[in-house]
Amino acid sequence: MDQELFFPSPHALLIILASSFLLLPSISSQVCQKTCGDIPLRYPFGSGSGCGDSRFHPSITCNDHQQLIFTTHTGCYPISNIDYTNQVLYISDPTMSTCACNQPSKGFGLDWDAPFTFHGDTIFALLDCSSSSPVYSPTGMFNDRNNNNNSSRVSLCDSSRGMPICGFLYGCKPIVSLNIPISGCCVYTPVNFGPSFEMDLEKLKCGSYSGFYSFNGRETDAESWKYGIAIKYKFAIDNVYPSWCSSCEQSGGVCGYSGPVGSFICNCPPGFNTTTNCFFGASFNGVSKFLPFQLPWICMIIFLGWLLVWSSTF
């Protein structure tokens, strides 16, 4: 006599489905990217909310076009590269004038509460400045938001590091074609330039600005300079790479955070969160997060439970 096919009772099906749904929170957990376009993402940066360090979000985000963006109160700027060894971001300003293009701009500034400062290699050249511009005053180059001038920051008009920067810039065709006198250019190197300062071209009565962070070995050829802005960042006060994040990354995970206080999590592929690393599971926010190597055991337990229900009917 042929054995009839067995179909679990509704009660048994409910038990099996409930066991299966225990896996859904971990499967649907957020996945943090390890790259954004061609740029690798490492701590303290992340691809979005919950990834990286909470202090650096939303200053650094990866948009829908896989482009890493640096955001301040003055605008959004593409990040061209990250030097993790020296902790330097390199950004470009679409409104910045270069040797290839001259255009009007409103300026650039950093958010006072963000963990960024200008790198000492960055050189700014303010272009098309009025003769009445405060840049020609020893205390008027860059003022803080409370208009507290500091006489120790003196603008270096027309030269920097003993070089005629403006003279080289005004040799570029887009700039020289404007017929602007070279006296309308002023150069400043923001050494120890704090995040509470910014460049407001409207107040400074300048039409545009240029910024670069390297002469690229050709000081007299402005077309070869590396245009953009170099920005330093710090992990924390002691500026030490956190060991818990290093352990997470070494296990194949991505460092992230959760909750309003930014509690650490390790985001493991394909989206499982733990409070340690990707070698050991952990409980997070009361929900069990299972790691990939645990899934076969979980599936086996579900199968044995189904088998037990099936055998109990005989």
Domain spans in the chain, listed from the N-terminal domain onward? 10-32+240-311, 86-233
List, for residues 105-161, the tens digit of each pLDDT value: 988 988 888 889 888 889 898 888 888 887 776 544 444 434 444 333 334 566 555
Q: What is the pLDDT of residue 290?
A: 46
Q: What is the pLDDT of residue 95?
A: 92
pLDDT > 70? residue 168? yes
Best CA proximity match to 116, nearest among 237, 232, 235, 240 = 232
Q: What is the pLDDT of residue 309?
A: 58
Which residues sit opposite 258 in a β-bridge?
263
What average pLDDT does the chain have? 76
List, for residues 68-93, the tens digit of each pLDDT value: 999 999 999 999 999 999 999 999 99
**263-268/226-227 β-pairing:** unpaired
Q: How many Cα atoms are found within 13 Å in the side-chain-facing hemisphere of 184?
A: 18
Q: Which whole number is the average pLDDT over 92-112?
A: 89
Q: What is the pLDDT of residue 284?
A: 41
Q: What is the pLDDT of residue 142?
A: 45
Q: What is the pLDDT of residue 33?
A: 92
Q: What is the pLDDT of residue 149?
A: 42
CA distance 95 to 93: 5
pLDDT > 50? residue 9? yes
Give 174's pLDDT tier (boundaries 50, 70, 90).
confident
Task: Quickly list H helices, the chain.
Answer: 10-21, 24-27, 165-169, 173-176, 201-204, 243-250, 295-311
CA distance 114 to 228: 19
Q: What is the pLDDT of residue 257?
A: 92
Q: What is the pLDDT of residue 302?
A: 57
Q: Which whole number is the average pLDDT over 233-245?
A: 84
Q: What is the pLDDT of residue 184?
A: 76
Q: What is the pLDDT of residue 195?
A: 47
Q: What is the pLDDT of residue 230?
A: 95
Q: What is the pLDDT of residue 153?
A: 36
List, for residues 196-213, the tens digit of each pLDDT value: 467 888 888 888 999 999
SS3 call for 39: strand
List, for residues 14-23, the tens digit of each pLDDT value: 444 444 444 4
Give 280's pLDDT tier (boundaries 50, 70, 90).
low
